[in-house]
Structure 1
Amino acid sequence: MKKTEKNQRLLKLAYAGLMAALCYVGYTVFPAIDAAGTKIHVGNAFVVLGALLLGGVYGGFAGAIGLSIADILGGFAATAPRTFICKLLIGLIVGLVAHKVASISHNHDKAYIVRWSIIAAVAGLAFNCVFEPILKYIWYTILIPNADKAQSAIGSLLAVTSTVTVINAVTNSIIGVIIYLALRPVLFKTGLLGAVDGNYSESKTVA
């Protein structure tokens, strides 16, 4: 491995650690509101931000670790495994759309970056709206049988288009994308954050 590649990886690991901390803070400083079986919190916004900045793998693991720790320290250790899975998948999907499909770390105009950042964020959080209650249902039906919690999961799935769920996804998408758009020009122009899709050397990034 070249020295520059090793340094880039270490830098991304450092950023991932920072994003994990931000996910934790986003959940704990602004406590989740439980409404209709859906938790509204801004932790997911930092999962989105991490995936947009670092790619799906680093961003996904940062969110998964940060929010799992938040569950454990908050007295909800039983939900931590599901949180880890869901947040990791959010990051992977956002990163897939943003960097493998749209290559937003390359030289594109601002409208393109804004459009694909939003599409990526919505894709990841919309998936989570459906997947999380399905995982919860499977969890309490097969792995840890609990009829009441399994029924609650079904209720959440049926309410996936409810106002609460939509507000949750939209709020986190907006926050994550706005912060990304604010940070992107500085990070890329100063070279503090390289490409995440493997082709950075072919074109310089712009705001």
Structure 2
Amino acid sequence: MKHRDTVTGKDENMKRMVITAFFAAITFLGIQAFRIPLPAVVGTPFVHFGHILVVLGVLLQGGKRGAVSGTLGLVIFDILNGFLQDVPQVFLETVIKCLLIGALFAALKKRAEGNMRKEYRDAMFCTVVYGCMNILIEFVMGIVKMMILGSGFAAAAAGSAASIPATVINVVFLVIAVALLYRPVEKLYRRMCA
């Protein structure tokens, strides 16, 4: 009987790894296949499905596995598309956002006690928090990048602020898409994990 339990445990771990790899792959593809460039003073932003899939990955898999799949998907995209200079920032900010949002959603989901309406509301709240964190991080990192390039603080802050509308557009797209996709993707995820 012990051998059977070990095999079942290994099968469960393998299933989790495959699902995490799947989320990493669709995160990468969500950016690679769908990009609409946006004008900005700092960087080369574009609307994409990447953060949507990162957030869905965190909400469904939890913070740790969501951090792994989201970070892998975003970093692989950056490496393969000439954004190597952004990899350290993307790596750190994605891990931090995913772990924080994952912990927040786990606590809120526990309080929801199986109430699907409350869980959905909590998922949307966490999505908005993720988006706000994204705006704040992009603003601060825009200032840092411009100051490294020689700008004074005031000029760097103004330049970074001028680029924030592109991030806000992405966040609005993120919230709308997660609002529409969370329930159907969550049902599919439950079936995959059953």
> Structure 2 length as normaliser, TM-score?
0.79
2:167 matched residue in structure 1: 165
Structure 1, unaligned stretches of length 5 or more? 195-207
Superposed displacement of residue 60, structure 1: 1.6
C-alpha distance 125-156 of structure 1, shift in aligned 2 (>3 A): farther
CA contact (8 A) 1:130 1:157 kept: no
In the aligned structure 2, how far is the partner of 1:119 from the partner of 1:74?
Answer: 32
C-alpha distance 21-40 of structure 1, shift in aligned 2 (>3 A): same
Q: 1:187 aligns with which of 186, 189, 192?
A: 189
Superposed displacement of residue 50, structure 1: 0.4
C-alpha distance 32-106 of structure 1, shift in aligned 2 (>3 A): farther
What amino acid does structure 2 have at the position aligned with 1:79? D
Superposed displacement of residue 8, structure 1: 3.3
CA RMSD of superposed structures (Å): 3.0
Structure 2, unaligned stretches of length 5 or more? none
2:115 matched residue in structure 1: 108
Q: How many residues align?
A: 186
C-alpha distance 12-160 of structure 1, shift in aligned 2 (>3 A): farther
2:129 matched residue in structure 1: 123
> Structure 1 length as normaliser, TM-score?
0.75
Superposed displacement of residue 178, structure 1: 2.7
1:12 matched residue in structure 2: 16
In the aligned structure 2, how far is the partner of 1:150 from the partner of 1:8?
Answer: 51
What amino acid does structure 2 have at the position aligned with 1:114? Y
Which structure's CA Rg is the greater one?
2
CA contact (8 A) 1:64 1:84 kept: yes
In the aligned structure 2, how far is the partner of 1:73 from the partner of 1:174?
Answer: 28
Structure showing the higher helix proportion among its residues: 2
Superposed displacement of residue 150, structure 1: 8.0
Q: Deviations over 1:46-84 (max 9, x none)?
A: 100100110111112211111111111111111111111
Tell me the secondary structure at the aligned position of residue 35 of structure 1.
coil
Tell me the secondary structure at the aligned position of residue 110 of structure 2.
coil
Superposed displacement of residue 128, structure 1: 1.3
**What stretches of structure 1 move > 4 A for 4+ residues in a row?**
148-153
C-alpha distance 136-13 of structure 1, shift in aligned 2 (>3 A): farther
Q: Calculate percent identity across the aligned residue pairs.
A: 24
